[in-house]
Amino acid sequence: MTSHYFSFADADVVLRSAAPHATEFRVHKSLLSAASPFFKHMFALPQKPLSTACPEVPVIDVYEPKSTLEALLRFVYPTSRPSIDTLDELTPILEAAMKYDMVSVIDILRARLVAPDFARVAPTRVYAIACRFDLEEEAKVASRHTLNVNVLDCPLHDDLKHITAYAYHRLLDLHRKRAKAAQELLQLSEDVKCMQCNGARYHAFLPPKWWSDFHERAKQELAVRPTTDVVFSMPFLAHSAQAGCERCAGSILDAHWFLDQLKRKIDDLPSTI
């Protein structure tokens, strides 16, 4: 079987994908050599012609399946790039690009790996893949996105088999330290008041009832997801307003400056491995 995309008449080498759907890709040594030091060195060695369709052209058997090899070559050749819509599609292509040292393809796939539709939806998987291939910058980006999820309650995936205990510990350590630091910042300013909660003892500092509820739930939330996305959301604050007195909702509105400052302090905490 010959590839639909790669069946050039002037090809001087054939790459044959792995069984069971072995496919011949009739390509050019010059392009592969420019894209890959691996192939450049390989082509310096004598190649035995084995192609039945074109006996004068040497054939190289590779371990990649048809879909992976085709996608890889589409990144190398000046043709339409393949659409990579899932991490299951990206990982084998990235693995092949790493194997053949195709730097330009690796750079494209690194950017795709940390695109929002991957990093936000499956941050722990992205982190695991980045660590597997020693992509430190991408691992840092992914680690920031993991702050929005409970890393101890994420779906178990085979990607985690390929990372070290050290890499996983780094992620847990980030969550633990940031959660602790964020919880310690939950200190109420004495300028935040509630007319009804303070009542006759207005000159004595008593925390509004909404703060007591907010403080307790925020500590619990930050312990699991040490980010500000949930604890400063309207539903979260509304719950605290309802848990307080009749004037606590107004107190929360008046304390917007304090909540903004608190949010910024938490956001400024170290957020990557």
pLDDT in tens, 124-142: 999 999 999 999 999 999 9
What residues make up the domain containing 190? 185-267
Reported confidence tier of residue 201, pLDDT bands at 50, 70, 90:
low
Q: From CA 221, how far away is CA 213, in angstroms rounded?
A: 12
In a domain, 143, yes or no: no
In a domain, 140, yes or no: no
Tell me what percent of the residues of the chain surpass a pLDDT of 90: 80
Q: How many CA atoms lie within 13 A of 27 on its CB side?
A: 29
In a domain, 261, yes or no: yes
pLDDT reading at 157 higher than 80: yes
In a domain, 218, yes or no: yes
Of residues 1 and 162, more confidence is placed in: 162
In a domain, 228, yes or no: yes
In a domain, 237, yes or no: yes
In a domain, 246, yes or no: yes
pLDDT tens digits for 16-55?
A: 999 888 999 999 999 999 999 999 998 887 666 555 555 6
Mean pLDDT of the chain: 92
- Residue 121 φ/ψ, nearest 5 degrees: -85, -40
DSSP-assigned states of every residue in 28-94: -HHHHHHH-HHHHHHHTS---B--SS-TTSBEEE-SS-HHHHHHHHHHHTTSPPPP--SHHHHHHHH
Mean pLDDT of 253-259: 96
Q: From CA 45, how far away is CA 60, in angstroms rounded?
A: 12
Reported confidence tier of residue 154, pLDDT bands at 50, 70, 90:
confident
Tell me what percent of the residues of the chain surpass a pLDDT of 70: 93
Query: What's the token pair of residue 91?
Result: 């990982």
Q: From CA 21, how far away is CA 67, in angstroms rounded?
A: 10
DSSP single-letter state for residue 150 = -
Q: From CA 264, how far away is CA 182, in angstroms rounded?
A: 11
In a domain, 252, yes or no: yes
- Number of domains forming the structure of the chain: 1
